[in-house]
Amino acid sequence: MQNAGMAALGLDWRYLAFEVRPEDLRAAIEGAKAMRFMGLNLTVPHKVAAMTLVDALDESAVKWGAINTIRFEARDPQGRWQPFQYFSGPLPDEVRSQGFNTDADAIVHALRDDLDMKLAGARILLLGAGGAGRVAALRLAAELPSEMFLINRTADKAEGVAEEIRERFPQVKTSTSFPEAKVDLLVNATSVGLKRGDGLPLDEELFPLQRAAAVYDMIYRPAETTLLKVAKAAGCRTANGTGMLLYQGARALELWTGRSAPEEIMRDALVKNVYGD
Ligand code: ATR
């Protein structure tokens, strides 16, 4: 997806994957900065740890408490920090890393595009309170749904996220038990469904899927998890996590290049890469 996007923008850049151990994350970020990489994306388990390892935090990282995108920057002659792409000659000596979060907005973007969701005033059931679940919960709460139901295997974690929502978005009614009545949206932010043979991330005795108008699974591989299959059969509108993956990546590419991302080219490459031809 990123390499296709970069090629379409006429850039001779390469996007590469590196596996980094948590204890090496600081060295990896500093090393990439020393080598004058344009930027980085981070995934599990680095998104929260990176918060204390970058030189500056964009508002998006502060707001959602996690970083999935780093941009390396240097000062322009006016003293403003700019992405490396801004400089045509050699880079100035003073450089820094800035952390961003492009995941959070991608959730809202995908729900609007793929499920035609109107989140303001909606009733939302969210499964999962890990790294992805916490960011999803807070970002969805910022859209001011009328009520959020947060469910997690480890109940304390859902309670912690609910408490955070009550502090930051007191208008949103928040509970940590399954709703009795219908919801407009159910989101799966657990990892249940990733592995072959995984079942549902919830107990249908506690919440039958017919009660959800729409179901979003943040998982994109497999394309149809058990949750999506059962939800579809129950008559729910459904979408998988491909849109989220695309939009967080498109915004990252825009941060590095300062140009608009060729989203459709990136989508085609993503779909081809994840699902084959
Ligand atoms: P991520 O960054 O992808 O969110 P994570 O922080 O490890 O990864 O979170 C994984 C989520 O899936 C958590 O909500 C986890 O529940 P716990 O907080 O109880 O660990 C959930 N999860 C993982 N395996 C699960 C399972 N077998 N049943 C139910 N929930 C599960």
Task: Quick: pLDDT tens for 93-127.
Answer: 999 999 999 999 999 999 999 999 999 999 999 99
pLDDT tens string 235-245 = 999 999 999 99
Evaluate whether the domain defined by 2-102+245-269 bears CATH number 3.40.50.10860: yes
> From the CA of 209, how far away is ligand 1's center (Å)?
20
Residue 11, burial from CB neighbour count under 10 angstroms (0-12, 13-18, 19+) = middle
User: How confident is the model at residue 173, as a pLDDT?
Assistant: 98
Return d(Cα 63, Cα 141) in angstroms, integer.
Answer: 12
Confidence of residue 216 (pLDDT cuts 50, 70, 90): very high
Q: Which CATH class for the 105-242 domain?
A: alpha beta
How far away, in angstroms, is 190 Cα from ligand 1 center?
5
Query: What was the pLDDT predicted at 100?
Result: 98
Distance 153 CA to ligand 1 centre (A): 7
Asked whether the beta carbons of 25 and 46 are under 8 A apart, the reply is: yes
* Percent of the chain residues topping a pLDDT of 90: 98
Question: What is the mean pLDDT of the segment spanning 224-237?
Answer: 98
pTM equals: 0.95
Ligand 1 pocket check for 159: Cβ under 6 Å: no
Both tokens assigned to 40: 């980085």
What is the distance in angstroms between the CA of the first residue and the CA of the last residue of the chain?
Answer: 14
pLDDT tier at 14, thresholds 50, 70, 90: very high
Which candidate, 32, 86, 70, 2, places its Cα nearest to that of 257?
A: 86
Q: Is the CB of 132 under 6 A from ligand 1?
A: yes
Task: List CB contacts of 236: < 8 A, sequence separation 6 or more.
Answer: 186, 209, 210, 212, 213, 214, 215
Q: What is the model's pLDDT at position 232?
A: 98
Tell me whether residue 232 is one of the annotated catalytic residues. Answer: no
Domain with CATH 3.40.50.720 in the chain: 105-242
Average pLDDT over the chain reads 97
Q: What is the pLDDT of residue 194?
A: 96
Taking only the tens place, the pLDDT of each residue in 143-201 is: 999 999 999 999 999 999 999 999 999 999 999 999 999 999 999 999 999 999 999 99
3-state secondary structure of 97: strand
Q: What H or E segment, with its residue span, contains residue 106?
A: helix 103-115
The closest alpha carbon to 66, from 137, 119, 160, belongs to 137
Whole-number Å distance between alpha carbons of 199 and 153: 14
For residue 226, give the amino acid letter.
T
| pLDDT value at 277 more than 80 | no
CB 100 within 8 A of CB 63: no
Of the chain, the percentage scoring pLDDT greater than 70 comes to 100
- Ligand 1 pocket test target in 191, 192, 219, 226 with most atoms within 8 Å of CB: 191
DSSP 92: P
- Give ranges for CATH 3.40.50.10860 in the chain: 2-102+245-269
The verdict on the CB of residue 128 being under 6 Å from ligand 1 is yes
Cα dist from 226 to 114, 195, 210, whole Å:
19, 10, 15
pLDDT value of position 69? 98
Looking at the CA of residue 191, tell me the nearest atom of ligand 1: 12
